[in-house]
Amino acid sequence: MKNYENLKAGRLFKTDDYLVEKLTACWEKLVKLNTETNREERNKICQELFASFGKSTVLSPFRCDYGDNIYIGNNSFINFNVSMVDLGKIQIGNRVLIGPGTGLFTAIHPIDPEVRATGVEKGADIILEDDVWIGGNVTILPGVTIGKGSIIGAGSVVSKDIPQMSIAVGNPAKVVRKINEDDKKYWQAEYDIYLHGMGE
């Protein structure tokens, strides 16, 4: 249990028999999730798998290590082939979109090779605030917070925090501009056209 306590606290830990049991239990749930097609049953599995799970959607295949370090809000959408290495906490807010092939990696291995060879590691939390959109094949590294409303371009590698209402792209991801009133006006006009076309 001590290694598990260290894992949850963000301290160095080593995978012991207890953690292997937890990994195995998670893998068994993932097998069920990744083969189940009934939406209600998938939601039940997600509620068992994750620390918390709102009214959201997770497509298969999906991968994680433990599941009980992942918190998912409401109306979020996680596309296929997403991987979450949840040694640290992964907090996903409301109305978050995560594109296919994206990886959220909280694991930190020691830089010193001798210490790394002992098998110890630790995690650093990843936070995606409300209304974040992550493009396809994005890599999000340990300790990163992506601020409310921000967009990460496809294929980016995010190694540092991204402020709210920003568009960031590249490797490493850098903010290229803020989301502004012109964006709001354009997309509100597009949405009005959509509503008119739907007879609403």
Candidates 102, 95, 17; CA nearest to 64 is 102
Q: How far lies 104's CA from each of 128, 147, 196, in Å?
A: 10, 15, 39
How would you label 22-34 residue by residue, b for 16+ Cβ within 10 Å and e otherwise?
beeebeebbeebb
Q: Is 196 one of the catalytic residues?
A: no
Q: Is the dihedral of CA 87, 82, 126, 156 positive or negative?
A: positive
Strand order in the sheet with 62-64: 62-64, 82-85, 103-105, 139-140, 157-158
Between CA 114 and CA 80 the distance in angstroms is 37
Selecting among 2, 11, 14, 109, the annotated active-site residue is: 109
What is the spatial distance between Cα 182 and Cα 160, in angstroms, rounded to a whole number? Answer: 27
137: helix, coil or strand? coil
Active site positions, annotated: 109
